[in-house]
Every structure is written in structure tokens, then in C-alpha cells.
């Protein structure tokens, strides 16, 4: 029972970190990255559909992203969806593909992105600590209901704390890697 609480906490913490990594993939960091279009959807027969399900998205050069729809009639709707999104790039339409030219980033842009990266990391650490608190509460309730002993409580708390420390370190490493990537562009 106690291990179930710890395993669920670990699962939730790992999901929080996976969300962070996924969110980092959508950050526009100067070089072409197909991940920036992951959250952009196009109205396809009344259904909001991600661009990567309607077209091939590829990197043709370091700062050029090419979107080639499988159905040419979707070229203009995809272009409009990209323009309406918050990625801040105006696609060039040549009649068969869309080209997204990523401009060279300024120092100011990089610093702003690094600030956002750090904030997202802090939010993830808050989520991890919240999961720890919930797990600790469950363990204490189990003790209150005489389901586990005082020694079990101590052991579980130590395991949960070690798990939390490990996950926070993983978040810090992820933040540092993304920060380095943004600043090295």
C-alpha cells in the first residue's frame, strides 16, 4: 500500500517533467524546429487538427522550416493558422509549400526566452513539491488509520524526499540544457 503511494507520486512527477520537456520543444529558439508548430491547429472539416497530421513538416536549412500539405487545398488554411498563432513568423507561400524563415535572435530575445524557460522550470518544481506534499499526506493518513507503523512512515517519507530531490535535480538539468541551447544560438 505504501509503495503504491510512492510509485504513483513518482509517476506524477515524471509526467510533470515530460510536460516541461514537451513545452520546451514548442519554444521558438532561433533555429528551425518542427516542434514550434505542435500546438497550431487547422480547421479540417470542422475539426481542429494539428498541422503535423495534415502535412510534412521538415527543416530544410538551419533557420528554414518547410510545411508541405498532403492536400494542396489546405495550403491557405495552414498559412492562416500559422499567422494566427503566437509563434510570430509569417509563412511564405509558393503555391505548393509554406516556408517559415526564423530570424536571427537578438540578445534581448534570448534573455526573454531564458527567463520564460526558468519560470517554466520553477512551475514544474512547484508541481513536483505539491505531489510530494500529497504523497506525504496520504502516508500520514495511513498511519492515522493504523494501516502502517511509525517506522513505515519514516521510511516512506525518506523515500518520497529522495524521489523529490532526484526529480528537482532532473528539472534543474533540463532547464540548464534548454538555457544553454537558447544562449548558444
CA 139 – CA 152 distance, rounded (Å): 9
Q: Where do the structural domains in the chain lie, given as residue ranges?
A: 2-25+106-183, 34-101
Q: Count other Cβ atoms within 10 Å, centred on residue 108.
A: 8
The pLDDT of residue 185 is 63
Beta bridge partner(s), residue 53: none
The pLDDT of residue 63 is 78
Say if residue 70 is exposed, middle or buried (CB neighbours under 10 Å; 0-12, 13-18, 19+): exposed
Across the chain, which has 185 residues, the per-10-residue mean pLDDT values are 88 94 75 77 86 85 85 87 82 87 81 90 95 93 89 92 95 91 75
CATH architecture, domain 34-101: 2-Layer Sandwich (3.30)
Kindly report the CATH class assigned to 2-25+106-183. mainly alpha
Distance of CA 119 to the CA centre of its chain: 13
Question: Is-above-0.75 flag for pTM?
Answer: no
Amino acid at each position: 500500500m505504501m509503495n503504491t503511494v510512492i510509485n504513483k507520486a513518482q509517476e506524477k512527477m515524471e509526467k510533470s517533467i515530460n510536460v516541461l520537456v514537451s513545452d520546451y520543444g514548442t519554444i521558438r529558439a532561433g533555429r528551425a524546429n518542427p516542434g514550434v508548430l505542435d500546438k497550431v491547429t487547422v480547421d479540417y472539416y470542422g475539426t481542429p487538427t494539428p498541422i503535423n497530421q495534415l502535412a510534412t513538416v521538415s527543416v530544410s536549412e538551419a533557420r528554414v522550416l518547410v510545411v508541405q500539405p498532403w492536400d494542396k487545398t489546405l495550403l491557405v488554411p495552414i498559412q492562416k493558422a500559422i499567422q494566427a498563432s503566437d509563434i510570430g513568423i509569417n509563412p511564405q507561400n509558393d503555391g505548393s509549400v509554406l516556408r517559415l524563415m526564423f530570424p536571427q535572435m537578438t540578445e534581448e530575445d534570448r534573455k526573454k526566452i531564458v527567463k520564460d524557460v526558468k519560470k517554466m522550470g520553477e512551475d514544474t518544481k512547484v508541481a513536483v513539491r505539491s505531489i510530494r506534499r500529497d504523497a506525504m499526506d496520504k502516508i500520514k493518513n495511513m498511519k492515522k488509520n493504523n494501516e502502517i507503523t511509525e517506522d513505515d512512515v519514516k521510511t516512506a517519507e525518506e523515500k518520497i524526499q529522495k524521489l523529490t530531490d532526484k526529480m528537482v535535480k532532473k528539472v534543474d538539468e533540463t532547464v540548464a540544457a534548454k538555457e544553454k541551447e537558447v544562449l548558444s544560438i
